[in-house]
Amino acid sequence: MTQIDLINNRQVHLQQGGVDALTQLAALSTGRPVWLRVGRLFDGCCERVLEDADIVFDAKEILAVGDSSKAIELPAEISEMSQPDVHLPSWTALPCLVESHAHLFLEGSPTDFATRKQYLQQTSETLLQRAQDRMPTILRCGVGAIRDAGDKHGVGLALAAKAKQHKGELATTPWIDSPGAAIHHQGRYGSFMGQPIEEFASASKCVAGRISDGADRVKLLVSGIINFKAGRVTAPPQMPIAEVAEIVKAAKANNRQTFAHASGAEGVENAIEGGVDTVEHGFFITDDQLARMRDRQIGWVPTFAPVQLQVDRAEQFGWDTIVVGHLQGILDKHSKMLCRAHELGVTIIAGSDAGSCGVPHGVGLLNELLLMERAGMSAIEVLLTATGRSANRLDFAEPVGQVAPGFRSRMILTQHDPTVTVANLRQPKAVLADGAFMFSDESTEMKGL
């Protein structure tokens, strides 16, 4: 049956065949609304999982969602239908995932810094092409939206500009927004992805410059990074509270959110008291800081993956047992604080820091979610951090992250229920996105990611 045949047929019941049925359903959705019934639905909005759920959608948006025990309101085009186009009782549906911290200009799959250095010697045009080339695979992993975390080469801005051109239209890549170059201080951490604040007469003019470049958000580097050998952040923060506050004020005046790279209790403190929207990484965060983040509605993106890699590949990186002990201690404390943040009601947002050495795009987020689950969060709570909860806090310009009326038709469907364990996201799954069908499994080729 051709796509034209499917579109012209008013009622196509594809009860069997799973993947084949979904392939045809995706094609059919480009011509009319379609009706899918699944055994379980996690909508990305709440902890409850709907049993025997109906989803009515076309290629652009979800039109209706309901419980099959009650009659669902069908669009006029298919109002005469008495049963779904496709019924998959053993399948679970959930929204495509939101990756909230990824450096799209970087390739994350290599695990050696020599390869990284060579990669960064390419032209900005080549870096952009490499980033564009990996987008279909990222979407096939189930990632439907990305908050780029900054680069000085204009790659994230170019990808975000392209996404805006197709806003509300069918697309074959995730939705993307970007801050452009991160803001840091001359001679301090971040030169590979940022441009120094010293290039401008004031912090507010620096923010204005970023916005003029097309930034959707403002990324600031408040601290340095962890000294793995010492097991702590050894350098003092590069931005004091007053400077952070000035950047935040300028960003808010231009209706832009701010997100701050911050690790070490002092760096996290400056980010919180400066009033940022989200704290990125946040290693060595304290109970008191988490409580203030909850009260001020500051989100937290914990990014376990890059540090976990240092433990998993310790021999390759040349770490001895003392350094590995430091690293494991950092991760154990981070796990404890993640659970504490959840108990306190802090808005936890999933981001993998993809593009970091050894953290591939797409796959890296799936690994990050598993690390969050292993830290002590339930599978459903982890899924919320990568779907509706994060999308709502980050306020994307596209309605993503939920299977609900008015949201984009971007869904993961799988016979391996992720609400039982997020490890199942690495099992074979289907991705329906804007009328396109993709299938992926644990053998996803990571070259180029």
Q: Would you write out the chain's pLDDT as a tens digit for each of its 449 residues?
A: 333 233 334 344 444 457 889 999 999 999 999 999 999 999 999 899 999 999 999 999 999 999 888 889 999 999 999 999 999 999 999 999 999 999 999 999 888 888 888 999 999 999 999 999 999 999 999 999 999 999 999 999 999 999 999 888 898 899 999 999 999 999 999 999 999 999 999 999 999 999 999 999 999 999 999 999 999 999 999 999 999 999 999 999 999 999 999 999 999 999 999 999 999 999 999 999 999 999 999 999 999 999 999 999 999 999 999 999 999 999 999 999 999 999 999 999 999 999 999 999 999 999 999 999 999 999 999 999 999 999 999 999 999 999 999 999 999 999 999 999 999 999 999 999 999 999 987 666 677 89
Residue 89 class from Cβ within 10 Å (0-12 exposed, 13-18 middle, 19+ buried)? Answer: exposed
Nearest CA to 29 among 3, 50, 49, 48? Answer: 3
**CA–CA gap between residue 23 and residue 18 (Å, rounded):** 9
Q: How many CB atoms lie under 10 A from the CB of residue 253?
A: 12
C-alpha torsion angle, residues 51, 52, 54, 59 (rounded to 10): 80
* Helices 287-295 & 321-344 angle (0-180, nearest 10): 40
- Give the N- to C-terminal CA distance of the chain in Å, as an integer: 35
What's the pLDDT at 444?
65
Nearest CA to 43 among 53, 33, 32? Answer: 53
**DSSP element (H, E) containing 161:** helix 155-165
CA separation, residue 89 to residues 34, 57, 117 (Å): 17, 18, 49
Instruction: Give CATH 3.20.20.140 domain extents, the chain.
Output: 97-394
Lay out the sheet containing 143-148: strands in order across: 97-102, 143-148, 175-177
**DSSP element (H, E) containing 192:** none
Q: Take residue 145 and report the two structure tokens written for it.
A: 């939206």
Q: Specify which residues 422 forms β-bridges with.
A: none
**CA–CA gap between residue 394 and residue 381 (Å, rounded):** 17
Superfamily of domain 97-394: Metal-dependent hydrolases (3.20.20.140)
**CA–CA gap between residue 25 and residue 22 (Å, rounded):** 5
Beta strand 143-148 with 194-196: parallel, antiparallel or unpaired? unpaired
Q: Specify which residues 348 forms β-bridges with.
A: 300
User: Does the predicted TM-score (pTM) go above 0.75?
Assistant: yes
What's the pLDDT at 70?
87
What does CATH list as the number for 3-94+403-440?
Answer: 2.30.40.10
Chain centre distance of CA 200: 31
C-alpha torsion angle, residues 43, 46, 50, 55 (rounded to 10): -30
Taking CA 288 as the corner, what is the angle to CA 284 and CA 289, rounded to the nearest 5 degrees? 55
Instruction: Give CATH 2.30.40.10 domain extents, the chain.
Output: 3-94+403-440
